[in-house]
Structure 1
Amino acid sequence: MRASRVRRALAVAVAAGAMVLSVTAASGSAARSMPTASRLPAVRADTLAARYAADHDVIVRSERAARRMGDTSRADHLAGLAASGRQFLSFDPRDDGLAVEVLGDLAHADRVVVLVPGSDTTLDTFDEIGTRYASVAGGARTLRAEMHRLAPDTKTAVVAWLGYHAPRTLSRDVVTTARATAGGSQLRLLMGQLKKVNAAAPVTLMCHSYGTVVCGSAVQPPASPAAPLDRLAGIVAVGSPGMGLRSASDIAVRVPVWAGRGADDWIAGVPHTSVHVPGATIGFGTDPVSRGFGARTFDAGSGGHSDYFKPGGLALHNLALISLGHGEAVSHG
């Protein structure tokens, strides 16, 4: 039995080690010596402008610091983040970085979506990871554009959330739940902040790849009350290796749970199992698109692991419908 468990753990590790093609190198010494913002005001509707301005200032100063230290790659990426009109609710340029970008008027939105990305997401891949739409910021933009196309009179806000330290594909962390557990705590904090900014808007968690494990951690029954989740309208898992849950019924609140996988997504070949070893859990449990998980499955089209937010795709169309609360119009796989 013990040998069998070890073999299963190794199988999960080997398969999941191929999760998302890594397109970025480790950030350089500049990332470890960056300026940080002075203490920001608490997140409320009336402090958003101040936070956006303060974080823009940090991004600009970080870009200059990176150029002084010769890290031109990081500096170029930071220059993109500093572009006029971009709004960052929080930002930390150190190491791989953290960034939470808001698209739209968060305080007055009718619907809010939080996009939670998977492995290899850093400041250097925030805007592009192979393609623009595969990145957390690019996917947030294509999703919001599709929502506007389908419902032009609905005020929407999409949050591109790099609020946790995503694992690298070729690392031990990518097959364990440790980063997801830490990220889940941060995601719950964000949900509480969103409630303070806009208490009326329903919030949908849109989770991709390892980000689905983060979302699963965030919505498990906590020791404390689940108040930050009371505006949660739904959870969507795409390209998931498992959410760290046995079934959709394990979440702390009763909301629709959706799952989809593109026909050409290699994640289907990852062993959807979970093995507990000393000091870690390897693998992420039940496949969310399986009948036993109990999610509402939708047609994610013929694309691959990085194609869910591709403009014009069936997956993006269905994701936008779910985000707008029009689940009845979603096509099913």
Structure 2
Amino acid sequence: MRAARLRRGLAMALTACSIVVTVAAAARSTVPGTPTQPRLPAVRADQLPARYAANHRFLTESARAARAMGDDGRAGVLARMARKDRHFLSFSPRGDGRAVEVLGDLAHADRIAVVVPGSDTTVDTFDKLGTVHASLNGGARALHAEMRRLQPDRRTAVVAWYGYPAPRTMSRDIVSTDRALDGGRRLAGLLGDLRTVNPAPVAVLCHSYGSVVCATALRRMDAREESALADVVLFGSPGTGVGSRAELHTRVPVWAGRGATDWIEGVPHVSLDLPGEQVGFGTDPVTPAFGARIFPAGPGSHSDYLRPGGPALRAISLIALGRGAEVSDD
């Protein structure tokens, strides 16, 4: 185990040292003939059905276009996303794509959870990334089901937010905050939109590199955007880009947890300011030096936090329901 951690740490260090070399994989090109992005209704409670319907049409048309160009893999992905029982707040097929799916009744929910994914998330992996529960959609569905199981009398909604260009694991971007800067701005905007739709408390749940995105959002959001927040949960986090919870400048509780077999424990917790960018993400969020509230994440690995039946999913769901006192290790 120790040797494996050292190898992972060395790999991350070598990646950081090669930051001046562009090794990022090229983004998937836009399929010629892709339908024009529609003008969407505003993000308001009374406009949600029309917005869902517009994105459904766009998904259906994009699937047809991909199939016509011989891209059967992408066509199949988009066709599954275009099912009538699925609702998308936003969608784009360009490059790796963007997709924001809503589970539950967003306008009338008593509690809302936003799942922010980490590396290797694309439209193509939205429904399946290795295992179903490791994907953004699969994890969000497991979370929504667990929240309803734990408290069936409470109306809940989960937003599966792939709203930023997630880095690839084997790229220079995975050790840089660059992708998180844009993602943090977009995530803060989403929280403002949710406040317009519904004033219910929102928990933001941040996996892996997504925790860097969440931390960036916290540091830049205005009072209205932050007013939507009830809790922030970091899991499988490599760090947040800051030295401590205090540097996030937020009033809301910040939680952190790590599975006992999560490889990310071996990532070097350093942060270097290079010309034009920051490399590495600083203090380990599950250490006392960071100052987060710790929740028990069980024996799982990096992709197991939202695994149905697992202790991490139960703990994260309780926090999202506003019942964090039931899971605290403090």
TM-score (norm 2): 0.91
**In 1, Cα distance between the equivalents of 2:189 and 2:276?**
26
User: Structure 1 residues 256, 331: closer, same or farther in 2, change over 3 A?
Assistant: closer
1:99 aligned to 2:96?
A: no
Q: Percent identity, please.
A: 59
1:179 aligned to 2:179?
A: yes
Q: Which residue of 1 aligns with 2:84?
A: 84
User: Structure 1 residues 243, 90: closer, same or farther in 2, change over 3 A?
Assistant: same
Letter of the structure 2 residue corresponding to residue 211 of structure 1:
G
User: Structure 1 residues 143, 26: closer, same or farther in 2, change over 3 A?
Assistant: farther
* Contact 1:238-1:261 at 8 Å conserved across structures: yes
**In 1, Cα distance between the equivalents of 2:137 and 2:32?**
23
Q: Which residue of 1 aligns with 2:3?
A: none
1:268 aligned to 2:265?
A: yes
Q: Which residue of 2 aligns with 1:208?
A: 207
Name the SS for the 1:240 alignment partner. Answer: coil
Q: Which residue of 2 aligns with 1:62?
A: 62
**In 2, Cα distance between the equivalents of 1:28 and 1:258?**
35
Give the total of aligned pairs. Answer: 315
* Contact 1:12-1:283 at 8 Å conserved across structures: no
**In 1, Cα distance between the equivalents of 2:108 and 2:302?**
33
* Contact 1:226-1:252 at 8 Å conserved across structures: no
Q: Which residue of 1 aligns with 2:318?
A: 321
**In 2, Cα distance between the equivalents of 1:212 and 1:143?**
17
- Residue by residue, what CA displacement relative to the aligned partner does 1:38-64 show, whole Å, maximum 9, x if unpaired? 211111001000000000001000000
* Contact 2:31-2:69 at 8 Å conserved across structures: no
1:256 aligned to 2:248?
A: no
* Contact 2:293-2:328 at 8 Å conserved across structures: no
2:234 to 232, 237, 240: 237
* Contact 1:178-1:280 at 8 Å conserved across structures: yes
RMSD, matched Cα:
1.9
1:44 aligned to 2:48?
A: no
Name the SS for the 2:107 alignment partner. Answer: helix
TM-score (norm 1): 0.90
Q: Per-residue deviation at 1:32? A: 6.1
- Unaligned runs of 5+ residues in structure 2 are 1-8, 18-24
Q: Which residue of 2 aligns with 1:308?
A: 305
Letter of the structure 2 residue corresponding to residue 197 of structure 1:
V
* Contact 1:35-1:93 at 8 Å conserved across structures: no
Name the SS for the 2:133 alignment partner. Answer: coil
User: Structure 1 residues 28, 288: closer, same or farther in 2, change over 3 A?
Assistant: closer
Q: What are the within-5 Å matches in structure 2 for residues 99-118 of structure 1?
A: 99-118=99-118
User: Structure 1 residues 31, 278: closer, same or farther in 2, change over 3 A?
Assistant: same
**In 2, Cα distance between the equivalents of 1:184 and 1:13?**
25
- Residue by residue, what CA displacement relative to the aligned partner does 1:232-268 show, whole Å, maximum 9, x if unpaired? 0010000000011211112232111000000000000
* Contact 1:11-1:271 at 8 Å conserved across structures: no
**In 1, Cα distance between the equivalents of 2:224 and 2:328?**
32
- Residue by residue, what CA displacement relative to the aligned partner does 1:71-121 show, whole Å, maximum 9, x if unpaired? 111111111101121000000111100000000000000000000000100
**In 2, Cα distance between the equivalents of 1:26 and 1:130?**
21
* Contact 2:294-2:328 at 8 Å conserved across structures: no
Q: Which residue of 1 aligns with 2:281?
A: 284
Q: Per-residue deviation at 1:37? A: 3.0
Name the SS for the 2:142 alignment partner. Answer: helix
Q: Per-residue deviation at 1:331? A: 5.2
Letter of the structure 2 residue corresponding to residue 77 of structure 1:
V
**In 1, Cα distance between the equivalents of 2:10 and 2:313?**
34
User: Structure 1 residues 169, 43: closer, same or farther in 2, change over 3 A?
Assistant: same
* Contact 2:13-2:268 at 8 Å conserved across structures: no
Q: What are the within-5 Å matches in structure 2 for residues 135-150 of structure 1?
A: 135-150=135-150
Greater Cα shift, 76-85 or 203-212: 76-85
- Unaligned runs of 5+ residues in structure 1 are 1-8, 18-24
